[in-house]
């Protein structure tokens, strides 16, 4: 079965050569043929004990599985997620312009070359990251969420009863 790291999982593989401990999910992209094979052949009953299907909207091509056993921090559960993205809904990868370069979806060599140019050019990566951050910030108010998380983590050090 063909699958590709995408999103944060791709960044982790490229930049950190593995998984980073603060990312709680794995994002994978699959071509339609392999995506449908996975969905049709997976034994949901077998894995139902450990995983739950969060979303099965085929029109979006996104499935999210959450591992039922969760990490507990401050009484809140943080589930481990596997996000599957159907890749053939895109005619090109956006790795261009303001937020990256556009490359044909199945032209892997061009995608790798252009992705490498972003990873190796810190100034370009920072510029593209800044534009992307501003777009996402305008929708999700990330700065406030980051501030909330910082407060939570700062309070962890103050509480002697919390084990990390």
The 10s digit of each residue's pLDDT in 33-85 is 887 787 777 776 666 566 655 555 544 455 555 544 444 444 445 555 777 77
- 5 and 43: one domain? yes
Where is pLDDT greater, at 62 or 143? 143
Among 59, 89, 119, the domain boundary falls at 89
Among 89, 111, 130, the domain boundary falls at 89
Would the pTM of this model clear 0.85, i.e. be above it? no
Among 89, 118, 139, the domain boundary falls at 89
Q: What is the pLDDT of residue 79?
A: 57
Per residue, the 3-state secondary structure of the chain, as one string, reads CCCEECHHHHHHHHHHCCCCCCCCEEEEEECHHHHHHHHHHCCHHHHCCCEEEEEEECCCCEEEEEEEEEEEECCEEEEEEEEEEEHHHCCEEEEECCCEEEEECCCHHHHHHHHHHHHHCHHHHHHHHHHHHHHHHHHHCHHHHHHHHHHHHHHHHHCCCCCC
- 85 and 99: one domain? no
């Amino acid at each position: 079965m063909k699958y590709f790291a995408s999103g944060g999982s791709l960044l982790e593989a490229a930049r950190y050569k593995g998984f980073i401990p603060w990312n709680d999910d794995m994002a994978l992209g699959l071509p339609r043929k392999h995506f449908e094979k996975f969905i049709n052949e997976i034994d949901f009953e077998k894995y139902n004990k450990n995983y739950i299907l969060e979303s099965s909207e085929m029109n979006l091509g996104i499935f999210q599985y959450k591992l039922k056993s969760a990490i507990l921090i401050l009484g809140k559960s943080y589930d481990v997620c596997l996000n599957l993205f159907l890749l053939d809904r895109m005619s090109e990868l956006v790795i261009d312009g303001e937020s990256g370069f556009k490359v044909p979806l199945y032209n892997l060599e061009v995608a790798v070359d252009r992705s490498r140019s972003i990873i190796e050019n810190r100034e370009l990566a920072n510029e593209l990251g800044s534009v992307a951050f501003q777009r996402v910030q305008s929708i999700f108010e990330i700065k406030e969420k980051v501030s909330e998380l910082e407060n939570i983590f700062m309070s962890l050090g103050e509480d002697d009863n919390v084990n990390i």
